[in-house]
Amino acid sequence: MEAAATAALVKRIGTVIKRASKNRASAWWYSPHMATASRAIAERLPLADLIVEVRDARVPLSSEYELLKNYPSPSRRIVVLNKMDLANSSRTKEWMRYFELQNCESFAVNSHNRENIKQFLNFLQAKVRELKKMDNSSSTTAIMLVGIPNTGKSALANSLHNIGRISAAEKGKLKHAAVSSQPCETKDISSLKIASNPNVYVLDTPGVLPPVICDFETSSKLALIGTIRDSLAGEKQLAQFFLSILDSGKEYEQWAKLSTAGSGRLSVDFREEYSGSCQTETTKKRQYPSDHTQDFIVQDVRRVLYESISSTRVDMRRRKDVLRLIEFQLAALREAFRIPSELGEEDACIRVSEKLLNLYRTGRLGHFTLDDIPKDIDVHGSFSTRRSTCKHHGNISRSNSTVCLPCSVESS
């Protein structure tokens, strides 16, 4: 994030989002339904037995839920890093270590991985049993899922419900929470059963953003992962932001084997691919140009990006050089994405940007963790001599002076 070009893009995107967040007439930002949801969640928080804060594993700090900053009961709170399959796995481990050092329980999940969800459900049930022993209660347990928009709360609730229902051998019509790739689609608080004996329910809640986000870097990251609608920040600006991150890292190096430098060809010849004698087969093949998720198109996108970065000697500290490389990449990707040549330059750039963002957000262009561990926390260093015992993590150590940022324990 230190490159001059990246900093300039962050400022540009952040300024637009800050202006929108302060505009009370905005059609999307902190809408009346979001304000209503904030009040409803705040009222129900004290009634929930367990609070599960769902964050995005790509931005473990930037996706913090503001309503929980001063939540006074860390023993009844778990931070879940969802979408772990889209983040850098080694960085996720470091973030898990960070939360451990902060004496905050955490769990990394992929809502679409059955085995991972089973493990998480077992973890939740064990936590529920502990809570029951503490208050000697046998009543129904309510687990509230909270978080900012588009962290995957509804997908996680559905997966827990599906696995829990099968484990309990319960029959009947399956109830689901609405899931969408667009932020702010969940409007109401819904209840889904995830376990029996004792009965455990998850409460899926609407995603809520702070009324105003003043930090440019935080708002830019949230926009890049899709928490904030693309139209607000601008598709091209977000694509440029992603490319500046890709260009300054090493993720692209794994695509070296795809390079066809000097051949002047895409990995699949366009005319050959779409010729055929059978009308049915031809119709099927002609669907490819509009489907950028096809493997051979993704491979061409990776190849173009690899060759554009590796063949140039760009000083990432020079803003103009980096922006020039990014513009070249956006232009070169038109062919890789099979954008029709008759499309205007501006429309073609928007089309490329939309497809590029989709491939990034679905993990097809690598796994990125955008947040860095706070500099005053050493997740690789030696532990403090003072040790404590966590019922789930075994013996752990924690800093004597570190304030628990996620749980706000020492500051409460």
pLDDT at 120 over 70: yes
First to last CA, the chain: 32
- Confidence label for 64 from pLDDT (cuts 50, 70 and 90): very high
pLDDT, position 315: 74
pLDDT at 400 over 80: no
Domain boundaries, the chain: 31-204
In whole angstroms, what is the distance from residue 21 CA to residue 215 CA?
Answer: 12
The reported pTM is 0.81
In whole angstroms, what is the distance from residue 309 CA to residue 205 CA?
Answer: 42
Angle, CA 14 vertex, CA 8 and CA 16 arms, to 5°: 110
pLDDT, position 311: 86
Amino acid at 387: R
In whole angstroms, what is the distance from residue 175 CA to residue 198 CA?
Answer: 20
For all residues of the chain together, what is the average pLDDT? 81
Beta bridge partners of 390: 394
CB 101 within 8 A of CB 377: yes
Amino acid at 214: C
Q: What is the pLDDT of residues 326-365, one digit of tens each?
A: 999 999 999 999 999 899 999 999 999 999 999 999 999 9
Q: Name the CATH architecture for the domain at 31-204.
A: 3-Layer(aba) Sandwich (3.40)
What mean pLDDT do residues 271-291 have? 48
Q: What is the pLDDT of residues 202-249, one digit of tens each?
A: 999 999 988 888 899 999 999 999 999 898 899 999 999 999 999 999
What three-state secondary structure class fits 193?
strand
Distances 47 to 43, 144, 203, 329 between C-alpha atoms, Å:
8, 9, 11, 52
CA-based nearest residue to 50, from 164, 147, 149, 127: 127
